[in-house]
Amino acid sequence: MDYFIKSIVSLLKEKTDLREDEIEKRIEIPPVLKMGDYAFPCYTLSKILKKPPNSIAEELTKILHPVSPITGIRAIGPYVNFFVDRSIFSERALKKIHEEKDSYGSDDTGSGKTIVIDYSSPNIAKHLAVHHLRSAVIGNAIYHIYKALGYSCVGINHLGDWGTQFGQLIVAYRRWGDESTRKTYTVTDLNSLYVKFHQEAEKNPALEDEAREWFKKLEAGDPEARTLWQHFKDISLKEFQKLYDMLEVHFDAYIGESFYNTMVEDTIRRIKEKGLAKISEEALIVDLEPYNMPPCLLRKKDDATLYATRDIAAAEYRMRTYNFDKMTYVVGSEQKLHFKQIFKVLELMGYDWASRCVHIDFGLMKFKDGKMSTRKGKVVLLEDLLIEAIERIRKIIEEKNPLLEDKDAVAKEVGIGAIIFADLSTKRNKDIVFDWDTVLNFEGETGPYVQYTHARLCSILRKYNQPVTGEVNYELLKEDETFRLIKNLWQFPSVIQRAAESYEPSLLCNYLIDVCGNLNRFYNTYRVLSDVEELTKARVFLVDATRQVIKNGLNIIGIHSPDRM
């Protein structure tokens, strides 16, 4: 527990009948600094004691006596407000950050536990477009967040590398694939083959049967089908990898749907043994009527399995392999029902770990005038967006900081950071309307703003050019603008905690914006480097701590913190 909250709780515990955790839960931070640093609302006590909260606050204030680090207690309306000793607070907070460095904000609550995170999971033979970005960056952030809490994390890219579309692709490739360029095929080529197939199939429906035949061959392990399928996969993965490298999104395993092909029969057998499966309209299903859900389809009437079947097999496999404490799927909210169904089936199969499976859903990305669609080619390619962002940043650098060294590297870090930050900063829940001008705006609450703030702090420290030490006079960090910032830095660990609990990386974005706002106000109000040595040392120490927190925060959401920009 927070040292200062702890002090307040122990004061209150003596004078009320509430339990420690009840008190702690109620402690809040007043909306404005003048009111105090922490507050205890008296509404619950008011209910118990049957007295107005205001008079309880008054009475409590009279019988409570401030003990260090608490310096003042004041009743304001229904609240008992506590003031902390600013220099003790500052010393404690800043020294902690200074000592813990890159691990400030982390803890070990998850040590010994394993979390599996399924994210990105794109389909083979299709380009990654902007709407694929969310899963990747949210998943990556969740990965870092849980890592910071000591969890052992397993990032899985559950590739969409199975299904009838591969039969279609094989047919198209064999018929229209250009012999001379096959070696240099790209995802674009695969995509056009795919489109061509659908055009031709309209005129000649026999192609569909041919495609089904080829998919059957593939399932049966036919060497030619297998070789082509592997070829398509290689081409796609090569392109995906390029983007993952740009975004610095990491996976511990690339295990596609095809991998579970050999396991689904066992899975279906287990489901049958539990008496869960039945035939309906020629298909094999798990009836979920009693749970107010449509049935979960395991097998089509032509005997082929479906993705739900493979997902169930995958879940079993992951449990066997990783023995996870938590398994999460970072997948769009349009698949909510699907996950509800498979989690229910897992539960019905008797797996207690079904309750530890979580669908981390997120809103769709669409254009102002409608949805994105790979089929209609109405998408913005992820690579194009990243390149555009980098180029625009490059121009801004040229304009604002022409003497900067290594402009290309910085432009890349800032451009990509801007895209990641933009995608992460609204709550997962909400749909996002894609708009070039919004994504490529670099002022205000944006990634570049946070990075810029960081770079300015680095600049001060470079200019200072002396070892930073915590042996400073903390009495000099008492101004409101300064103290507000220090209090803000102290919140960082609890923000990570909340982000983890709610699987919500946007909390970290909001937090960073907040810290930067406080820092910039401080920066614009006071001069850090001056002739007054004592004051300089104290402020430099604060600057260094702020730099550290911004760096740690950006790092957790997968964004670089350049020293100059």
Partner RNA sequence: GCGCCAGUAGCUCAGCUGGAUAGAGCAUCGGAUUUCUAAUCCGGCGGUCGAGGGUUCAAAUCCUUCCUGGCGCGCCA
Instruction: Tell me the C-alpha distance between 490 and 506, whole Å.
Output: 19
Q: Please tell me whether residue 333 binds RNA under the rule CB under 7 A.
A: yes
Site residues for RNA, 196-235, by CB under 7 A, read: none
HSE, side-chain direction, 13 A CA sphere, residue 287:
9
Site residues for RNA, 417-446, by CB under 7 A, read: 425-427, 429-433, 438, 441-445
CA angle 180, 183, 187 (to 5 degrees): 110
Site string for RNA, 125-164 (x = CB under 7 A): -----------------------------------x-xxx
DSSP summary character for residue 101: G
- In this structure, which amino acid lies at residue 298? L
Q: Per DSSP, which regions of 256-379 are E strands?
A: 277-280, 283-286, 296-299, 326-332, 357-362, 365-367, 370-371
Judge whether 129 and 381 are in contact, CB under 8 Å. yes
Nearer to RNA, 163 or 553 (CB): 163
In the complex, least distance from residue 297 CB atom to RNA, rounded to whole angstroms:
5
Site residues for RNA, 60-99, by CB under 7 A, read: 76-79, 81
Site residues for RNA, 536-565, by CB under 7 A, read: 563-565
In the complex, least distance from residue 104 CB atom to RNA, rounded to whole angstroms:
20
Owner of token pair 């079904």? 354
In the complex, least distance from residue 555 CB atom to RNA, rounded to whole angstroms:
18
Select the span of 88-96, 132-140, 169-177, 281-289 touching RNA (CB under 7 A).
281-289
In the complex, least distance from residue 180 CB atom to RNA, rounded to whole angstroms:
32
Site residues for RNA, 467-526, by CB under 7 A, read: 498, 501, 506-507, 510, 513, 516-517, 520-521, 523-526
Site residues for RNA, 19-58, by CB under 7 A, read: 28-32, 35-36, 39, 41, 43-44, 46-47, 53
Name the packing angle between helices 223-247 and 407-424 (round to 10°): 100
In the complex, least distance from residue 300 CB atom to RNA, rounded to whole angstroms:
3
Burial class (CB in 10 A: 0-12, 13-18, 19+), 155: buried
Nearer to RNA, 243 or 519 (CB): 519
Interface with RNA (CB under 7 A), residue from 307, 351, 353, 367: 307
**What is 237-260 written as a DSSP string?**
HHHHHHHHHHHT---SEE--GGGG
- N-to-C CA span, the chain: 38
Q: Please tell me whether residue 527 binds RNA under the rule CB under 7 A.
A: yes
Q: Please tell me whether residue 528 binds RNA under the rule CB under 7 A.
A: yes
